Chain A
């Protein structure tokens, strides 16, 4: 019953949107403009329609014309408000009110203000109707709240109607000369419109109350009486009589006077020249009436998309949909599948014919009516319901519905659709941060439909979601590696798998399994989208390998191996400039790192690239940067275009290279100043576009460089700020401690002691950085004159772990000698 009532209101709402003032009242208006605005509204080009109305209003010289464009503007914004999302509606309704105010300000004494005032009341009525309709498609507390809001708006509408009627009775809108006064037939029409609006207010209020209550009955009776009065007052050729008869029939039906309602509808049939739209609405009413009385015998087939004289009506279509939904609720199992398909087609038709607003209404109606029907097996209906739920924020319900839809599609053998729906469900979970569930869902769907072209991508997403779910624990999670392994074995040639190889290589590098990482990266296709990232990763793996080899004899072999790898990869790689250049430079950078004091050949090569304008501009620019951090070139000699050529990844390596250079250089101040300037400019160029971790590294390098250059105050400010903002970052803490260790006052030595102690407790015991921290504590104590404390610590370190690897062994030994450790 409630669904049927709801549909009747939709009819009333449609009338509200359409507006009431007869076109005859604006016979003077330019037909072309009217048709243009109407066409814009039909196409939902609201902004344009609004602008045209505004422009015409501003141009109008007479009150009559201005009133016409005010009414058109109000209709435009009211129709727009009804289609807008809930959060934007209030602003649009205010815009409707603003039209009336604008007219009032410009023509304060014009009798045409009556038309504007009437339209304003009708807009308020439409707002109330919309709110009530919204309430009927919700449940629980929301429904009560919306009903209350609807009643408040309707009461306000009623007050305005009374006020307007009183003003009319007082003759406020009469007067003016022949040109400006309002013709009597229009005055009469407006009087009738006021009665009609009053009846509709009662009708809407009635439907806000619960069935069977006194309030509802009283409001329905009042509405019926007003509609009857209008039928008596108006002539058969008046359009308003059609509306009055329709309203009357609805009231009679809701009050249970079915025979009377049928009689009313028959008298409507006899009216001359009823427009097609009203005929369809009368048919809708007839359909609902028959359906409510005896569900099987209907006067006309409930076919959605039915038209009379080429005209469609959303009221008819929704009534037909309502009947179909009722049939589904009552129907037998063998008809259910067919009916569900029919309902899906009906909603699709409504979406196409009447636009998204009515499509959404139809979907809401379907969701509301089928929420208790467990046997819904149509994948499309379930998908529609899921979308509706998602729009309402109930994403978990949406996920369940999408999964059901997927299963339904799978049962029908539509595997592609089944995959798509299950994929969507998982994406919804991802969007809402349910990483663990999304990962499992994506993996299971990828494994289930592993031949689907999107399976590899889905599995990759599953791995990504797993990574998000595990967070910092990922490194210890064997599942991650096993999923990556599955990806590589199940879809070895898929584009997505190249990305998986890259991730696997990163994981292996983090576990210090460099050789395996190299093997995995070797399988990344040069044409894949992961190739550039894989090249960067390759460099980092090689870098880690080289760092591990250190100064050992193995490093020479490693360099040879790197050289052959470089040549092989270089020739095998595609001729993409960025890739080739990246390899050239990174290879030589690594040679510099490994060789310590680079061979002449290495430096010669870099100088050659830096000086000679080659076909690879990026290569020249990057060589110039490498030479700059090596102290071979002034930063000021870098060209303006060079700054754009150096990608952020290369900056990181410049930082590493510079630290290497510092170890062997005696005169450091000049280089420090250069590097500080270099990274300052780099931060300006790239600072807001790079990863925050990378940005932090750059800032650290800059602070270190400032300290080396002698700008200790600036370095201290920067480092203090970094420590404050990133208190747990070990790299920052190391920079801070090193800075303090080079201090010259007791305060800084004391700070250095605390800074190194902090690090010693957090670094892996026995590692080189840990020994550095231990040395730092002891040295800070020594500098403060606490020789005994220093001696105790060194003696204990020697007894428990020894003095560690070079260069710390020698430094600790020297310090121990100074402290008197035996």
Chain B
């Protein structure tokens, strides 16, 4: 009798433990975005005022052994100028999204240095551009 009770208790403990570790299924999102109706449906969605603040795109370009930068398509000669430029933008809007877009042949060190400059300027959100898909 005793061994049987032991076994039953063991099974009970096992099931309690396994049940407690299950991830509740309802935590997974099940809503599906409704498809746009008609050609103009997406267009007519009201735009947020936040959309007025464009992202700051910092291109990092390899120029032989040196590195050059372009902030929103405007050339920046050196790292000091880059820092002051970014600091000026951050002073206006620190929450503006910054996108770092390095060329494939830019050394990793230069990219990290640029990231640090952006961080030091005070930007909160810094992302990396994804490479364009091959045609």
Contacts and interface: CB of A to CB of B under 8 A. Distances in A.
A789 interface: yes
Interface in A756-809: 757-758, 760-761, 765-766, 774, 777, 789, 792-793, 795-796, 799-802
A728 interface: yes
A754 B47 contact: yes
Contact of B49 (A727, A728, A789, A796): A789
A765 B73 CA distance: 9
B10 interface: no
A724 interface: yes
Contacts of B73: 765-766, 801
Given A724-B40, A795-B92, A800 B54 contact: yes
A476 interface: yes
Given A765-B54, A777-B52, A801 B96 contact: no
A476 B135 CA distance: 9
B74 A758 contact: no
A765 B135 contact: no
B56 A800 contact: yes
B47 A796 contact: no
B105 interface: no
B46 A754 contact: yes
Given A766-B72, A800-B54, A761 B92 contact: no
A799 B40 contact: no
Interface residues of A, number: 23
Contacts of A476: 135
B51 A761 contact: yes
The bracket for how many chain B residues form the interface is: 20 to 34
Contacts of A793: 52-53
Nearest to A786: B49
Interface string B25-57: 000000000000001100110110101111010
Interface in B71-90: 71-74, 88-89
Contacts of B96: 796, 800
A757 B72 contact: no
B71 to A, nearest CB: 8
Given A766-B72, A801-B72, A727 B54 contact: no
A796 B74 contact: no
Contacts of A789: 49
Given A476-B135, A765-B72, A766-B73, A796 B51 contact: no
Contact of A727 (B43, B88, B135): B43
Interface string A462-495: 0000000000000011000000000000000000
Contacts of A766: 72-73
Contacts of B43: 727-728, 758
Nearest to B41: A727
A644 B54 CA distance: 49
Interface of B: 39-40, 43-44, 46-47, 49, 51-54, 56, 71-74, 88-89, 91-93, 96, 135
Given A766-B73, A800-B56, 13 more contacts: A727-B39, A754-B46, A757-B49, A758-B47, A760-B52, A761-B47, A765-B54, A792-B92, A793-B52, A799-B93, A800-B54, A800-B71, A800-B72
21 contacts: A724-B40, A727-B39, A754-B46, A757-B52, A758-B43, A760-B51, A761-B51, A765-B72, A765-B73, A766-B73, A792-B93, A793-B52, A793-B53, A796-B53, A796-B96, A799-B89, A799-B93, A800-B56, A800-B89, A801-B72, A801-B74
* Top 9 A-B pairs, shortest CB-CB distance: A727-B40, A727-B43, A799-B89, A799-B92, A795-B92, A757-B47, A801-B72, A799-B88, A796-B92
